[in-house]
Amino acid sequence: MAVNEFMHPRNRYRQKPNFQQLVKLYPELNDVASVDLTGKVKIDYRNKHAVHLLSKCLLFRDFGLKLELPPNKLVPTLPLRMNYIHWLEDIGSVACWDVERKEKIRGIDIGCGASCIYPLLAVVQSNKRWHMVAIEKAEDSLESAKANVIRNELQSCIEVKSQKLEGSTVLLQVLEEDFPNERFDFCMCNPPFFDNISKELKPQDRTGKRREPSNASTGSIEELCTEGGEVKFISQIIEESLQLKDRISVYTTMIGHKKSYEEILRVLKRASIHNITVGRFCQGNTTRWAVAWSFDDKVLLSLVSDGHDKNDSPGKKKPIGKPVSCRIFTPEEVDSIQGVRNYISTQFRAIEIDVRKVIESNKAEEIVLELSARENTWSHQRRKRRAAISSPDKVNVIQTQNGNGSTQCQNNNNNHKKRPRLDVEQNESCSTQGDNKGDDSYLRAALHILRKDDGFYVALQYVGGVAGKDAVNQILQYLKNIKAKRDKITPADGVNKTPSVG
């Protein structure tokens, strides 16, 4: 089944090129084009020369780029490359590349190949705001990449650097020797998919029903294969990222096989890297996967949208991360977005929801917080308190400090006294010793605090966790209930405009 409809929504190649018009513009395509019985012009994608010629014509028509390739080198198909570029743009939106200090965005392409296609596209697509370092190990590909940069007069935006043939690192050596004091916004990689000891470069046909590839296979052995395959190659990048940390703000890579994608997620988890996002690149009959990770506290990758979920055609799955929002304070009730943040943070911490600031705009008009919860501590609060107070034989749970400073829960069988309401609230949030060591996988969400003309709004967006998106609605309702209760007890009188955080 063709998956063009799941391409990134900004990808211009969601609609196939009009080959009839293209042949008129570039008559050389007549040599590789054919006309079917209905008069429709077609290109034979199984013909390597046709794929090469088509890519050259599209690059020149759509981007003004001139491309030449040595024989037997990988021919870049543009729909996939543009899916990757647009995904990086989405990451940049979350990382605030456009609204921060940056006059230029610095990126690294690991293994640029003979075409140097990703740096060329990135620079042109960004109107030369993105400046790229392209690194390559194969000598013939390196010379071809340099020639393509010079051919397009982009030497001021793209530096092509050689990786040491005998080197054992992917990024470390190049950064330490050529860019010792420079930080980069991202790195990208389209690694060789196959293990070089494998004799079979075609995907495994487990059912016997897999169709022959619709595109011609292009590329040299070093472009298609590496020792240990893509899992070993990407694992090396992950290992080096643990040393480089935020010298590169966001690490990204494409992945060719779904089983490799699943293994890479396990590698990241074993390395305790949790600030990640994933992507899926769909084009033609082909799907590729992608993963990005970061050590930069200002970049919350979980907020990166999954581009193909934005398709609102009938019958399509709706995005699970659609925000829910409401106004929480009027301008008369509070005059500071920091006051709103402090109020909300206090309410969440009272029910043991972890809160972390991610983004704060320079104009103090928006704050983004990351929320994580290990269990449901917000539902049916009044019912829980009434049940606890009305049960005289209910076992009290109190918190005590262990000798090592950690908190444990102990039973107190004193059934003769009612517990104060405050004690009940504290006890509800107490869990057995050792629970904090678990993964925060019950709920993860992003909370945006927005300042508008008519007051302050909160918008909650589901990110992940077994609680599902319904939990986001529950938490928003919890905030509304707490706010309503506060207004009933202490109506806003215009004197103290800052919400109480005590």
Q: Are residues 297 and 445 in the same domain?
A: no
Do 288 and 326 sit in the same domain of this protein? no
Query: Contact 145/160 with Cβ under 8 angstroms?
Result: yes
Residue given tokens 């950690």 in the structure block:
406
Domain count for the chain: 2
192 and 260 both lie in a single domain: yes
For residue 254, what pLDDT is reported? 93
Residue 81, annotated as binding a ligand: yes
Half-sphere exposure at residue 48, Cβ-oriented, CA atoms within 13 angstroms: 10
CA dist 291 → 73, 238, 480 (Å): 26, 11, 36
Q: Are residues 343 and 277 in the same domain?
A: no
- Structural domain of 369: 322-375+441-490
136 is in an annotated binding site: yes
Domain annotation covers residue 465: yes
In CATH, what number is assigned to the domain containing residue 230?
3.40.50.150
Question: Among the three residues 275, 303, 331, which one is the final residue of a domain in this structure?
Answer: 303
| Tens-level pLDDT at each residue, the chain (502 residues) | 355 667 888 999 988 888 888 888 888 888 877 776 666 777 776 777 888 888 899 999 999 999 988 877 678 889 999 999 999 999 998 888 876 556 789 999 999 989 999 999 999 999 999 999 999 988 888 999 999 999 999 999 999 999 876 667 889 989 999 999 899 999 999 987 545 655 444 545 555 554 554 454 444 445 444 566 789 889 999 999 999 999 999 999 999 888 899 999 999 999 999 889 999 998 877 889 999 999 987 888 888 876 544 443 333 433 444 567 788 888 888 888 888 888 999 999 888 898 887 666 555 677 888 888 888 888 866 566 566 666 655 444 434 333 333 344 444 444 444 433 333 333 333 333 333 333 446 888 888 888 888 888 888 888 777 787 788 888 888 888 888 777 655 444 433 454 544 3
Indicate yes or no: pTM above 0.85.
no
Residue 206 lies in a domain: no
Supply the DSSP symbol for 286: E
Looking at residue 435, its pLDDT comes to 34
Count Cα neighbours of 140 within 13 Å in the Cβ-side half-sphere: 11
Whether residue 190 is annotated as binding a ligand: the answer is yes
pLDDT value for 413: 45
DSSP element (H, E) containing 383: helix 381-390
Angle between helix 117-125 and 48-63 (nearest 10): 20
User: In this structure, are 336 and 463 located in the same domain?
Assistant: yes
User: Which residue type does 73 have?
Assistant: K
pLDDT of residue 34: 74
> Would 174 be classed as within a structural domain?
yes
Same domain? For 103 and 238 the reply is: yes
At 248 the pLDDT is 96
- CA 253 from chain centre, in angstroms, equals 11
Nearest-angstrom CA–CA distance, 391 and 142 = 76
Residues 291 and 327 in one domain: no
Q: Return the pLDDT at 60.
A: 94
Q: How far apart are CA 388 and CA 425, in angstroms?
A: 10
Separation between Cα atoms, residue 392 and residue 390, nearest integer Å: 6
Burial of 471 (0-12, 13-18, 19+ CB in 10 A): buried
Asked if 422 and 381 count as a contact pair (C-beta separation under 8 A), the reply is: no
Neighbouring-strand partners of residue 399? 409
Residue 342, token pair as written in the block: 């402090």
Is residue 111 annotated as involved in ligand binding?
yes
The Cα–Cα gap between 292 and 290 comes to 7
